[in-house]
Amino acid sequence: MIVMKFGGTSVGSAGSIRSVIDVIRQAANSGKNPFVVVSAVSGVTDMLLAAARSALSKGSSVNGLVGGIERRHADIILGLGIAPDILLEDLAELEKMLYGIWLVREITARTTDYVASFGERMSSRIVAAYAKKCGLNAKEFNAYDLGMITDSNFGNAEILPSTYEAIAAAVEKIPSGTIPIVTGFVGKTKEGEITTLGRGGSDYTASIFGAALGAEEIQIWTDADGVMTADPKLVPGASTVPVVSFEEASELAYFGAKILHPKTILPAMNKNIPVRVLNTFNPSGSGTVILKSGRITNERPITAIACKKNIYVINISSLRMLLAYGFLSRVFRIFEDFEVPVDIITTSEVNVSVTVEKKFDISKLVDKLKEFAAVTVLSDRASISVIGNGIRSTPGIVGRLFSTLGKSGINVEMTSQSYADVNESIVVREDR
Ligand code: ASP
Ligand code: MG
């Protein structure tokens, strides 16, 4: 069995859904037993979240809020020639939900997830309907009806330890020969409330199902030719990397390569299942395969470079802390209390600098730090991460990196590389 996940652009038009079905058919014909996970049609999750927000602020009625969402799907349904009414119930339920928000003038994380879930619920219905029209034995499923149980951290829910077993038990009941078309991104709490796994979370869904079902391979079908040496928009000469280790892939995902949701790697890695990143729009390309590092022999010490804009650099210093212990623990306890994750850390005796993504609100955290330290926040910086299994073992790599930057007159403001690292990250001014 293989898990095949198709992203938003892959299901974003009638034409691309036709390519998706070709890809699934080929897998089925070669005896691979595809288990399919889909994202929402591209743009739809944003539209749903926007609709929920405007239901809250809209004056006299909620009429018309689902219009754009309905049209986005109707174009695809029309293009595929499938039954025009397959989304009627979903759209009616969505409208009711928005009406509820409008009526009570309140939107919670829980209702937001409920609204957001319609994207994948509708796309899975469309893909399954078209697959059936093409003669495949496909059937749509909500992931939560196949054991995807999560905690109640709405908006960024996490699976429970029992989820893997629940999935295996539920999928066992599907008649063999069926090709399941399953919603990415969504789950349900034990109490039956809909949750989402965080933006871009369909990759994670695919990896969880893959691990639970002991898949041979987890395929992430997207709109790029796999993991690239750098962002091709920034570096026109960037090329596809054929093989990447799990460690490299998670560093890349975390430090700015937009190809995979950062959480995707873990379930696959725990079960040692290869993850292959492929292009729906160039299906004959070989893409990138992500494997355990022991199985890789890359000649190049550096695999890829990623970059993260929209970060804060927070500098924390306290002379009082000279030779005192407990400074770091006090600093990081505050990040823990405010639930703000730190990306890069550098330290000296009296100074700690960290980077944090701008999506986190750090104002209260900074106030708290100021109670015992001098704090400055820089908001015009970016991090660049050079990633490769060879970094730790190849002498001179870091020297070359710094001399190259030096020759270009680019000042390196922070740098971090730990002993066992496959990642050398630096911070520079974003405009450089
Ligand atoms: N539809 C969700 C999003 O846009 C999940 C995903 O596409 O992976 O974030
Ligand atoms: Mg995605």
Mean of pLDDT over the chain: 93
pLDDT (0 to 100) of residue 138: 98
Q: Which atom of ligand 1 is found nearest the CA of 119?
A: 1
* Residue 318: pLDDT band with limits 50, 70, 90: confident
- Closest ligand 1 atom to 198 CA: 9
Q: Is 196 in the pocket of ligand 1 (CB under 6 A)?
A: no
Establish whether residue 201 lines the binding site of ligand 1, counting it when its CB lies within 6 angstroms of any ligand atom. yes
Q: Is it the case that residue 269 has pLDDT exceeding 90?
A: yes
User: DSSP states of 345-371 as a string?
Assistant: EEE-SSEEEEEEETTS--HHHHHHHHT
pTM for the structure as a whole: 0.90
**Tens digit of pLDDT for each residue in 44-62?**
999 999 999 999 886 667 7
226 lines ligand 1 (CB under 6 A): no
Q: pLDDT value at position 75?
A: 97
Which of 158-172, 253-267, 330-344 is most confident? 158-172
CA dihedral defined by 23, 28, 30, 34, rounded to 10 degrees? 90
**Mean pLDDT along residues 149-162:** 97
Mean per-residue pLDDT, 298-306:
84
What's the CA-to-centroid distance between 246 and ligand 1, angstroms?
22
- Identify the CA nearest to 338 among candidates 371, 378, 367, 365: 365
* DSSP 8-class letter at 294: G
From the CA of 204, which ligand is nearest?
Answer: 1
How far is residue 263's CA from residue 99's CA, in Å, rounded to a whole number? 34
In this prediction, residue 289 carries a pLDDT of: 96
Number of C-beta neighbours around residue 134 at 10 A: 14
- Alpha carbon of 419 to ligand 2 centroid (Å): 32
Tell me the H-state helices in 274-385: 327-337, 363-370
Q: Residue 39 has what pLDDT?
A: 98
- The tokens describing 361, both together, are 């609100």
Query: Does residue 144 have a pLDDT over 70?
Result: yes
- b/e sequence 104-120, b meaning 16+ C-beta within 10 Å: eeebeeebbbbbbbbbb
Q: Record the tokens describing residue 230, joined without a space.
A: 């750098």
Split at pLDDT 50, 70, 90, the class of 298 is low
Structure-block tokens of residue 189? 């709490």
Ligand 2 centroid to 202 CA: how many Å? 7
Which pair of tokens denotes residue 410? 């680019």
Ligand 1 and 58: CB distance under 6 A: no
CA angle 387, 388, 393 (to 5 degrees): 125
- Summarised one tens digit per residue, pLDDT across range 14-39 is 999 999 999 999 999 999 999 999 99
Residue 94 has pLDDT above 70, yes or no: yes
Tell me which of 202, 204, 277 to substitute to probe ligand 1's pocket, judged by most ligand atoms within 8 Å of the beta carbon. Answer: 202
